[in-house]
A and B are shown apart, each in its own frame.
Chain A
Amino acid sequence: MKKLIAGVLCVCMLSALVIGCEKTEESTTATAATTADAGDDTTESEEGGSTETGIINLWSFTDEVPNMVDKYIELNPEFGERYEIVSTVISTTDNAYEPALDAALAGGGADAPDLYCAEAAFVIKYCSGDASSYAATYESLGIDIDAAIEEAGIAQYSIEVGSNADGEVVGLGYQATGGAFIYRRSIATDTFGTDEPDSIASEVGPGWDKFFEAAATLKDAGYAIVSGDGDIWHAIENSSEDGWIVDGALVIDPLREEFLDYSLMLKENGYSNDTQDWTEAWYGDMAGTADTQVFGFFGPAWLINYVIADHCGGTAAGEGTYGDWAVCNSPIGFFWGGTWLIPAAGTDVPEGVAEILTWITLDCSETGLQYMWANGVDAAAKDSVASATVMAMSDGTLDFLAGQNMFDVFVPANEFANGSNLTQYDGTINGYWRDQVRQYSAGEKTRDEAIAGFKQMVADNLDVVVE
């Protein structure tokens, strides 16, 4: 009897402690809530007293998205009370992310992902390719997708990429990675007499013929137009009519085939420094340290803020090439990179997932993630975002670009990007293609041999029909 009473008292004591702890937590978060933005209200009214709770399993390959979710909880504490976020971050080095994600998706169960990220390199597989059966459409989560897209002005290519085979949206991104031509102001003035984006845009394009004319002009003035053939590849790849695979067979779009010739032209005529992207020499050209200075790079906003800015050799005007850059329209529209967020089919927390997705990819208000990204809130570098609406109401001026507003260029650039010619094998096939092109431009193979070698590699390694 005594033991029973003692036992019951213990249990009461323990539960009191536990509840007490929760209460103190609640009070602290409550005070935080009152000081936070009033953005809470909109989400609460949308939910209208939702009682869904649970664990949201988030899979990502960098800590970008988990940090975003943490930020959301910071701004909306009651979301954090209803849901517990379990993030699994596996980086894409050594190709470790995809097999793990695939196994987790296939395994199912309570630990299966509820929300997962896919990078441009492999997003097609998860949206419309082999893994698309694991994805849920945004519509099915209760998001009025068409209206939201309309309001936010999401770039067309992003929607195309994120749509499944039935044309419904299963994934959207937060960045817009439409590409432009990023050039050095000083070299522009020296060669063309002006550094105004519009003038330069008409010097280097539209179209590759114009581009190579400009290359010749620059060569005469002692400059290289780009750093290496990789720089023009992304533009070429994305601008072709067909992707690599049409109806299960390999197709070499004529525009992509021209890359062989362009690559050779760049090398033979000395229009480039023959570097390979993501190597020392390529970074060196951003700081202008090579003997021959490079005029420009093709890339989206992230190239400016995360790559060129980091390697320009300085952090303020006057140091290195900082402040000597500008952006203009690319001769050919394209996009490069990006992360798409995909909800999982059969998730047990659809409302929570929908809330996060909306905030990250569709919310075009001033409390949405995209606004924060576009304006560099919280000391993050400014980036162009998926919503044109947000960019229109944001300030994209950068000291790095000597005060130019990058959104002026990137909003239209996003519209020119093509999202319909991607296949899920692109990563691999591009690797083979560029390797053979490099052999050709280095003089190791003839043009036909390069194409034949490419076809052989695709036929031998992939389940694709090759004539």
Chain B
Amino acid sequence: MASDLRTKQRASIGLKICIYVVSILLAVLSIFPFWVMFCNCTRSTNEIQEHAVSFLPSVYLMDNFKVYEGKDFNPFVGFVNSMIISVFSTGLAVYFSSLTAYALTAYEWKLRKPFFSFIMAVMMIPGQVTLIGFYQMVYKLGFTNNLLMLILPSIAAPMMVFFMRQYLQGALSMEIVQSARIDGAGEFRIFNQIVLPIMKPAIATQAIFTFVSSWNRLFEPLVLLTSKDKYTMPVMVSLLKGDIYKTEYGAVYLGLSMTVLPLIIIYLSLSRYIVSGVALGGVKG
């Protein structure tokens, strides 16, 4: 018995070592590009063009900031715009996707299966060619240069609906809903007060993903927004790139770092939902 315990302990120590080694390796691998990027924003353009990857910072941070003044680049405006778009997109997407997913799991209705298949189908279309149709539509409607055009489409987020539905299938049991109905709650209230809290981990996860992808989106804002005071951060950074012989790489990396920094901060603050076990709390007691 004792030797059994010891072998178990040895095995578990071996496992632990293995886990730590792998984790540390992966962690280093995950961090290094960020480190390089932050280093690069302190180096001058010439240094970067000659040695693109460096692990040691340099002294040109303020010079890179000065490039901004010359180029009429206002990171604050970009930040605010990006924030507006990303926050609203994420909020809308998360709420309506949860709603739609709930509709797909909790209710029995005739078009349920076809509707779900339809959502899946939409998810599967490769995106590049629909771009043309999208531009044409936006230009015809005259809605260019409008932040709303970047926010509203996110109400329909098929991938998120898919995820929420899968999650609900595993995590939601109809007993709660039934008991709430017996208690006299309306459907909408049930959704808001009971189902949403159950979905917290899923919501947190998807919120982060959507926020990141919305924040980093370059192509649509680049094409749709034409006035400087509506530019988002990625768009502003891309403008720094300009012609290949005039690109100020130091400033570009500074811009990229500034673009990424808010994401990291938001991610770190939301990540406790993923890290700590946010238990369901709905089913038990």
Question: CB within 8 Å of B: which residues of A?
Answer: 61-64, 86, 88-94, 96, 99-100, 103-104, 106-107, 109, 111, 119, 278, 280, 283-284, 287, 289, 302-303, 306-307, 310-311
Contact A91 B50 (CB under 8 A): no
Residue in A closest to B49 when the chains form the complex, CB atoms:
A283
Contact B238 A94 (CB under 8 A): yes
Q: How far is the CA of A93 from the CA of B50 in the complex (A)?
A: 21
Residue in A closest to B224 when the chains form the complex, CB atoms:
A100
Q: Which residue of B46, B71, B218, B222 contacts A311 across the interface (Cβ within 8 Å)? A: B46
Contact B245 A280 (CB under 8 A): no
Q: Min CB distance, A153 to chain B, in Å?
A: 25
- Determine whether B241 belongs to the interface, using a CB cutoff of 8 Å to chain A: yes
Q: How far is the CA of A336 from the CA of B72 in the complex (A)?
A: 29
Q: How far is the CA of A289 from the CA of B47 in the complex (A)?
A: 13
- Determine whether B284 belongs to the interface, using a CB cutoff of 8 Å to chain A: no
Q: How far is the CA of A107 from the CA of B139 in the complex (A)?
A: 6
Residue in B closest to A277 when the chains form the complex, CB atoms:
B244
- Determine whether B32 belongs to the interface, using a CB cutoff of 8 Å to chain A: no
A-B contact pairs, 17 of them (CB 8 A): A62-B242, A62-B243, A63-B72, A63-B239, A88-B226, A94-B218, A96-B222, A96-B223, A96-B238, A103-B223, A119-B243, A280-B50, A284-B50, A289-B50, A306-B246, A310-B45, A311-B50
Chain A residues with Cβ under 8 A from B218's Cβ? Answer: 94, 96
Chain A residues with Cβ under 8 A from B56's Cβ? Answer: none
Q: Min CB distance, A41 to chain B, in Å?
A: 31
Chain A residues with Cβ under 8 A from B239's Cβ? Answer: 63, 89-91
Chain B residues with Cβ under 8 A from A89's Cβ? Answer: 239
Q: Provide the B119-152 mask, 1 if CB < 8 A to any CB of A, else 0.
A: 0000000000001000110011010100000000
Residue in A closest to B139 when the chains form the complex, CB atoms:
A107
Q: How far is the CA of A91 from the CA of B238 in the complex (A)?
A: 7
Contact B144 A111 (CB under 8 A): yes
Q: Min CB distance, A83 to chain B, in Å?
A: 17
With A63-B71, A99-B135, A104-B139 as contacts: A91 and B223 at CB distance below 8 Å: no
Chain B residues with Cβ under 8 A from A93's Cβ? Answer: 238, 241
Q: Min CB distance, B152 to chain A, in Å?
A: 20
Chain B residues with Cβ under 8 A from A280's Cβ? Answer: 49-52
Chain B residues with Cβ under 8 A from A289's Cβ? Answer: 50
Q: Min CB distance, B142 to chain A, in Å?
A: 8
Q: Min CB distance, B57 to chain A, in Å?
A: 19
- Determine whether B188 belongs to the interface, using a CB cutoff of 8 Å to chain A: no
List 14 additional contacts besides A94-B219, A100-B222, A311-B49; criterion CB under 8 Å: A62-B246, A63-B72, A63-B239, A90-B223, A99-B131, A103-B135, A109-B142, A119-B243, A280-B52, A283-B49, A284-B50, A303-B245, A310-B45, A311-B46
Q: How far is the CA of A191 from the CA of B139 in the complex (A)?
A: 61
Chain A residues with Cβ under 8 A from B140's Cβ? Answer: 107
Chain B contact surface mostly? helix
Q: How many residues of B contact A (CB 8 A)?
A: 29
Residue in A closest to B131 when the chains form the complex, CB atoms:
A99
Q: Min CB distance, B155 to chain A, in Å?
A: 24
Q: Min CB distance, B247 to chain A, in Å?
A: 9
Chain A residues with Cβ under 8 A from B46's Cβ? Answer: 310-311
Q: Which of B110-125 contact A (CB under 8 A)?
A: none
Q: How far is the CA of A83 from the CA of B20 in the complex (A)?
A: 66
With A99-B135, A100-B222 as contacts: A287 and B245 at CB distance below 8 Å: no
Q: How far is the CA of A86 from the CA of B142 in the complex (A)?
A: 17
Q: How far is the CA of A88 from the CA of B144 in the complex (A)?
A: 12
Contact B245 A61 (CB under 8 A): no
Residue in A closest to B135 when the chains form the complex, CB atoms:
A103
Q: How far is the CA of A311 from the CA of B219 in the complex (A)?
A: 31
Q: How far is the CA of A111 from the CA of B226 in the complex (A)?
A: 10
Q: Provide the B48-70 mask, 1 if CB < 8 A to any CB of A, else 0.
A: 01111000000000000000000
Residue in A closest to B245 when the chains form the complex, CB atoms:
A306
Q: Min CB distance, B135 to chain A, in Å?
A: 5
With A96-B223, A99-B135 as contacts: A302 and B245 at CB distance below 8 Å: yes
Q: Min CB distance, A156 to chain B, in Å?
A: 24
Contact A96 B219 (CB under 8 A): yes
Q: How far is the CA of A86 from the CA of B245 in the complex (A)?
A: 25
Chain A residues with Cβ under 8 A from B45's Cβ? Answer: 310
Chain B residues with Cβ under 8 A from A310's Cβ? Answer: 45-46, 49
Residue in B closest to A108 when the chains form the complex, CB atoms:
B139
With A99-B135, A287-B50 as contacts: A92 and B223 at CB distance below 8 Å: no
Chain B residues with Cβ under 8 A from A278's Cβ? Answer: 244
With A63-B71, A283-B50 as contacts: A307 and B219 at CB distance below 8 Å: no
Q: Min CB distance, A232 to chain B, in Å?
A: 19
Q: Which of B251-266 contact A (CB under 8 A)?
A: none
Q: How far is the CA of A309 from the CA of B51 in the complex (A)?
A: 17
Q: Min CB distance, B131 to chain A, in Å?
A: 8
Q: How far is the CA of A303 from the CA of B245 in the complex (A)?
A: 8
Q: Which residue of A91, A103, A106 contacts B241 across the interface (Cβ within 8 Å)? A: A91
With A99-B135, A311-B50 as contacts: A90 and B242 at CB distance below 8 Å: no
Contact A100 B72 (CB under 8 A): no
Q: How far is the CA of A345 from the CA of B24 in the complex (A)?
A: 62
Residue in B closest to A57 when the chains form the complex, CB atoms:
B226
Q: Which of B192-241 contact A (CB under 8 A)?
A: 218-219, 222-223, 226-227, 238-239, 241
Contact B223 A100 (CB under 8 A): yes
Residue in A closest to B252 when the chains form the complex, CB atoms:
A93
Chain B residues with Cβ under 8 A from A96's Cβ? Answer: 218-219, 222-223, 238
Q: Min CB distance, B77 to chain A, in Å?
A: 15
Contact B49 A61 (CB under 8 A): no
Residue in A closest to B244 when the chains form the complex, CB atoms:
A278
Q: How far is the CA of A287 from the CA of B50 in the complex (A)?
A: 9
Q: How far is the CA of A106 from the CA of B135 in the complex (A)?
A: 11
Q: How far is the CA of A99 from the CA of B135 in the complex (A)?
A: 9
Q: How far is the CA of A93 from the CA of B239 in the complex (A)?
A: 8
With A89-B239, A280-B49 as contacts: A99 and B246 at CB distance below 8 Å: no
Give 5 nearest A-B pairs by CB, closest first: A107-B139, A62-B242, A100-B223, A306-B245, A103-B135
Q: Min CB distance, B132 to chain A, in Å?
A: 8
Q: Min CB distance, B196 to chain A, in Å?
A: 38
Chain B residues with Cβ under 8 A from A62's Cβ? Answer: 242-243, 246
Q: How far is the CA of A119 from the CA of B246 in the complex (A)?
A: 14
Chain B residues with Cβ under 8 A from A106's Cβ? Answer: 136, 139
Q: How far is the CA of A314 from the CA of B50 in the complex (A)?
A: 13
Contact A103 B136 (CB under 8 A): yes
Chain B residues with Cβ under 8 A from A91's Cβ? Answer: 238-239, 241-242
Q: Min CB distance, A104 to chain B, in Å?
A: 7
Q: Min CB distance, B45 to chain A, in Å?
A: 7
Chain A residues with Cβ under 8 A from B227's Cβ? Answer: 86
Residue in B closest to A281 when the chains form the complex, CB atoms:
B50
Residue in A closest to B44 when the chains form the complex, CB atoms:
A310
Chain B residues with Cβ under 8 A from A63's Cβ? Answer: 71-72, 239, 242
